[in-house]
Structure formats: structure tokens, C-alpha cells
Amino acid sequence: MVGCVSSERRQVWKAVIALPLLAALLGSCGTSSNNDTYDLSGSARVNGPSAKSKQILIPQPTALQALDSNQIVIRVSSSEIQYLGKSQWSDKLSKMVQSKLAEAFENTGKLGGVGVPGQGLAIDYQIVTDIRAFEINAAGGQKRAIVEISEKILNDRTGTVKAQNVFRKVVPVSGGSNPDFVKALDAAFAGVTGELVDWTLRSL
């Protein structure tokens, strides 16, 4: 896993990856000061039932180091990743996901309280998540945004897991520009967030 690629690898990739995407990948050698910065919208549709008697805590999700940075991941094969050139997230990925999940739960208005560590809430359940995938998959020449997040609803008083699930969305990328990649990732994350919040409300 490297930030820049050798000239030999560039020649191989030209045979399997569309030129607009390849140009974006090779731009990853640039300095962060020239990068465009992107955020996640956090918009999600939720239909779950009310759980006004419950208060939840949203800890920072776990993730592998390759995902958990401000760089936008491009998977070029099953075992090799790159980073989207001249682009970056506005913060570390796990912090962004934590913030947007907390926002999504709060926006439902269906909980007694939503907090993050350090806010001093009396918590009933922790929403423990792991970011398994948050990437543009370009293997085989087809570009798709893939977001996968696992969740455990942890009883804060007993330490037992009440329920657990895995949420995954795949969204095709329309176009070859950096904003196109980010738009697809944002749509995939919105889909995962909506399902995650809805399922959690039904499971509390």
C-alpha cells in the first residue's frame, strides 16, 4: 500500500483502469495543501419507531489504518489500494462517521438522548461500529462506491450485546472526476446510515 506508484505499475494499470480514474490515482503524489477537501452529507431516510426512553452513546468507530485517515481510498485489486489524487476528507474517516451517525440519530427525534464519549450522559446502550469498507472499487475497470459498516448494540449496564448486524451499500460511479467518486461514496454512506439507524431503533 503506497501513496505513489512506480512507472512499471502505471503501465500495467493503463491496461485495466479507465484513463480518467488513472489520472486521478497518479495525482495522489501531490501535496495535501493542493487537495480539494470533502465532507459527508449525513443525509438519511429513517422510519424506525420511537425509543424516547432510551439514551445511546456513539463511540468512534474502529477501522483498519489504511481506511482510517483523511485520504479517500481507491481499491485497484483485491490486495492493493491507492488514494484519490488531489482530494481528502475534512477529517479522519472514523471521526467523520461518528459525527454523522450521531447527527442522524439526533435528527430522528425518536431517542431520549444521543451522545459521544465525554459528554456525561447516562447511557442505556452503546452503538459500537466498525468500518469494514469505505472505498471506490476500480478492480476490473468498473467503478463502484462500497461502504460496509458492522454494528453491535451494547448494553452499557451489563456489557452484553443486545443485537448485531452488518450494513453494506454499493453505488455505481457516474463519471470519472473526483467529485463523482465522492458523490457515490456519500450516497453509499447515506444508504448504510439510513438502514443502520432504522434497524437500531427497531432493535432497542
Instruction: Please report the pLDDT score of residue 43 as a whole number.
Output: 75
Cell of 11: 503501465
pLDDT in tens, 25-50: 544 444 456 889 999 987 777 788 89
β-pairing verdict for 51-57 and 125-137: parallel
Task: Please say whether the beta carbons of 178 and 27 come within 8 A.
Answer: no
Give how far Cα 144 sits from Cα of 6, 137, 188, 203, Å: 25, 5, 10, 30
pLDDT in tens, 44-92: 777 888 999 999 999 999 999 999 999 999 999 988 999 999 999 999 9
Instruction: Please report the pLDDT score of residue 53 as a whole number.
Output: 95
Q: Residues of the chain with pLDDT > 70: what percent? A: 84
Helix (H) / strand (E) containing 119: none
Nearest to 204 by CA among 165, 166, 167, 163: 163
Instruction: Please report the pLDDT score of residue 1 as a whole number.
Output: 39
pTM of the model: 0.83
Q: Which amino acid is at 172?
A: P
Q: Backbone phi, then psi, for 154, in 5-degree steps?
A: -105, 120
Nearest to 143 by CA among 4, 14, 22, 59: 22
Question: Where do the domains of the chain lie, and which CATH numbers do they carry?
Answer: 7-203 (3.40.50.10610)
pLDDT in tens, 132-159: 999 999 987 789 999 999 999 999 999 9
Looking at per-residue confidence, does 20 or 196 come out higher?
A: 196
